[in-house]
Amino acid sequence: MIHRIGKKKYKIYAMDVESHNDAETIKKQETSIWLGCFIDENSKIDEESSYFYTIEEFLEKLRTLSSPQRTKNKTRLCSNLCIYIYNLSFEWSFILPKMLEMGFTWSEEIGEYNFNTISTKSCSSVWEVNMKFEGENGMIKLRDLAKIYGGGLGNVAKSFNLETQKGEIDYRLNRLHGWIPTKEEKEYCFKDTRILIEILLKMQDDKDFWNSISMASYSMKKLIQFGFGKSFKPLKEYRKSYPHLSSEENKFLRESVAGGITYAPDRYQFKEINQKIMHIDAHQMHPTQMYTKFFPYGKGEYFQGNNKPLDRICCVRIRISYTAVKLHSVISLIGLPMITDREIVCWDFEIPTMRKCYVDFEFEIIEGYAYKFKPLPFRNYVKDNYAKRLKCKERKDAFGTLYYKLLNNSAYGKFLEKPHNSFFANTINPLGIIDSIVIEKPEEDIQVEAKYTYLPIGSCIPAYSRVALIELALLFGWEKICYFDTDSIFVIYDEEVEKIWKTVNQRDFLGGWGLEEFIDRAQFTAPKRYKTITDGVSTIKAGGINFDKWKQDNYKERYDALIKEGYTSKEALNEISLPFDEINITNEKYEVQRAYRVKGGTIIEFQVKEIKIPDKYKSIYDRNIKV
């Protein structure tokens, strides 16, 4: 495959590595790779050229392939290379040290033996690497495919209807001392890498894909094209309605930005609930708001006090007081049972919902910005994507179902993106671990916003979503709500709730709600931390903990028996269900896999993670459990 990225053509490849992760490596706190696969669409599984065994070999392949020199039979068609990797931050931790040893240096402008990256400071996320060898060599890009199709390579492969392989590599086996990779190990690595090639082949006719480094940027390009595609310069046309705002206005609006409501009301928090609970989900909550609501446009008109224009949508700083809480509709107030004269920044359409949620609610407007409002010109973008997703579901097209869901859910964050006013020059710290030196941009290059930023839209979308979530919860009865999770409601089910549910829009489309399940037992302890039983099957959610090690330790006989029957470790673990009564999600320690940087790369090791009661919830725990 050769594709145009920007103004240049690039030859497309995929790469994956296997690294040392055994007890000796962990003890030394130093690692390296022992096998890698580097292929294009024509590479074969039994060709030795598909593999490499050190990072130095991989870099030499890149240097040779990016050389403009003639090969034996013909001139190389393309000396620019783009290599896709799944979870690039892992591979980059092995590649960077060797590049620095070869004399590569960081530079904003790429020249001979230069590189730069789009990454976080710690390189926990790396979107793209740009690099170049000798002066006449082509440009090389390393890209993270997981930033476009996340969720794990196996799950993505299934969504693309790609065959996933059976078996697995023993990652704890010591391969440090002259290990020669087996045929089975090489084939395993090749098949994983081939999945990337198959995904890239499916996307080869989409030019926006090749010019994007994340699903957010990819979706935003399509959204702008949809809304302003008739213009010769769609982005310029977008900025006519949604202009760059002043630093003062942006700073004010940034205070109004918040996510989704995710919490357990204190009357049920930590308690074991043995009543029937209805769990419902909104169909794509944020895209629903984009399709159905009016949004600000233009620059805001600043005002003070109660001089708020009546025919505008306003972002306001208000001073509030209340004496008790029914339900929280403001994230920053969660955990505060009563307040006096606290200042918050919100949208004026949130205030009527706040009146219903907070007892003896009082507010005073201090200042704000007023905006004209209208429907979004790209509102039908999310509607069309949802309709296409439904058609994909009907014909059991797993790829299309995932693709259109990602398109709808990804663009919104670009309205909130912060400007990138510093560079992270990736380097190796004195301990030999990957890190970055922060280089601030010159003052004349400092920006207030990123390419697509328009905070009035980005802030309004989740605010509308919170209002929609809370208003439906209030309709059911605030005293029956057990838990919220952004676009989900868990409510005690009775005859009254049943009657109200029948009146709710249950159409499978934007604005509709779907019934997920009826729960028999449950406990909700903190955001993203709860356990339920439905029809005898337990579900345990505890952010960052998958309980695999707990299953292996506590159900060892069952696990070993499944392995002997031919199950892979992952398959065996999936066969073992978690018992509701044996898992403590309030205060307990569990062993979980954690990746961390060491000299030479990254190690993945089991480490203890402790579940604690957050300080702001301790009084609730004492009241609901200890008494």
| Each residue's pLDDT tens digit, 228-251 | 988 889 999 999 999 999 999 999
Return mean pLDDT, the chain.
Answer: 93
In a domain, 253, yes or no: no
pLDDT one-digit tens code per residue, 553-571 = 999 999 999 989 988 888 8
Q: Residue 518 is encoded by which pair of tokens?
A: 């009826």
Does the pLDDT at position 626 exceed 90?
no
DSSP 196: H
In a domain, 104, yes or no: yes
Cα separation, 533 vs 273, in Å, equals: 11
| Residue 589 CB partners (closer than 8 Å, separation 6+) | 608, 609, 610, 611
Identify how many contiguous H helices and E strands the chain contains and give both numbers: 19, 28
Beta bridge partners of residue 317, listed in sequence order: 345, 367
Mean pLDDT of 17-44: 96
DSSP 580: G
Q: Residue 173 sits in a domain of what CATH number?
A: 3.30.420.10
In a domain, 250, yes or no: no
353-378: b or e for each residue (b if 16 or more CB lie within 10 Å)? Answer: bbeebbeebebebebbbbbbbeebbb
Does the pLDDT at position 309 exceed 90?
no
Cα separation, 132 vs 122, in Å, equals: 23
Mean pLDDT of 134-150: 93
Cα separation, 53 vs 185, in Å, equals: 12
From 399, 581, 437, select the one nearest 121 (Cα to Cα): 437
Q: What is the pLDDT of residue 308?
A: 85
Check if the beta carbon of residue 192 is closer than 8 Å to that of residue 165: yes
Torsion 175-179-184-185 (CA) sign: positive
166 pLDDT band (50/70/90 cuts)? low
**Maximum CA pair distance of the chain?**
84
| Residue 444 CB partners (closer than 8 Å, separation 6+) | none
Range of the domain at 145: 2-213
Proportion of the chain above pLDDT 70, given as a percent: 98
User: What DSSP element (H or E) covers 223?
Assistant: helix 215-228
Q: What is the pLDDT of residue 77?
A: 73
Q: What is the pLDDT of residue 164?
A: 60
Range ranked top by mean pLDDT from 128-137, 361-370, 602-611: 361-370
Q: What is the pLDDT of residue 64?
A: 94
User: What DSSP element (H or E) covers 574?
Assistant: helix 569-575
In a domain, 371, yes or no: no
Burial of 231 (0-12, 13-18, 19+ CB in 10 A): middle
Strands in 410-528 per DSSP E = 422-428, 434-440, 481-485, 488-492, 513-519, 521-526
Look-up: residue for tokens 């300080």? 615
Q: How crowded is the C-beta side of 420, counted as CA atoms within 13 Å? A: 11
In a domain, 157, yes or no: yes
DSSP 269: T
Q: What is the pLDDT of residue 72?
A: 61
Domain count, the chain: 1
pLDDT one-digit tens code per residue, 88-118 = 999 999 999 999 999 999 999 999 999 999 9
In a domain, 148, yes or no: yes
Q: What is the pLDDT of residue 28?
A: 94
Does the pLDDT at position 192 exceed 70?
yes
User: What DSSP element (H or E) covers 282?
Assistant: strand 277-282
Mean pLDDT of 183-190: 94
Q: What is the pLDDT of residue 150?
A: 86
597 pLDDT band (50/70/90 cuts)? very high
Look-up: residue for tokens 């090791």? 605
In a domain, 318, yes or no: no
Q: What is the pLDDT of residue 71?
A: 58
pLDDT one-digit tens code per residue, 391-437 = 999 998 888 898 999 999 999 999 999 998 899 999 999 988 999 99
From 350, 241, 244, 337, select the one nearest 293 (Cα to Cα): 350
In a 3-state reduction of DSSP, which class is residue 42? Answer: coil
Q: What is the pLDDT of residue 302?
A: 96
Does the pLDDT at position 304 exceed 80?
yes
How would you classify the pairing of strands 114-119 and 105-106? parallel
Helices (H), 280-432: 285-292, 351-357, 379-394, 398-410
Cα separation, 421 vs 440, in Å, equals: 6
Cα separation, 512 vs 444, in Å, equals: 48
Cα separation, 509 vs 551, in Å, equals: 39
Helices (H), 66-116: 88-101
Q: Which amino acid is at 215?
A: M
In a domain, 53, yes or no: yes
Lowest mean pLDDT among 36-50, 145-159, 484-498, 588-602: 145-159
Q: What is the pLDDT of residue 546?
A: 84
Does the pLDDT at position 75 exceed 80?
no
Mean pLDDT of 430-445: 90
pLDDT one-digit tens code per residue, 356-397 = 999 999 999 999 999 999 999 999 999 999 999 999 999 988
Residues making up the chain, counted from first to last: 627
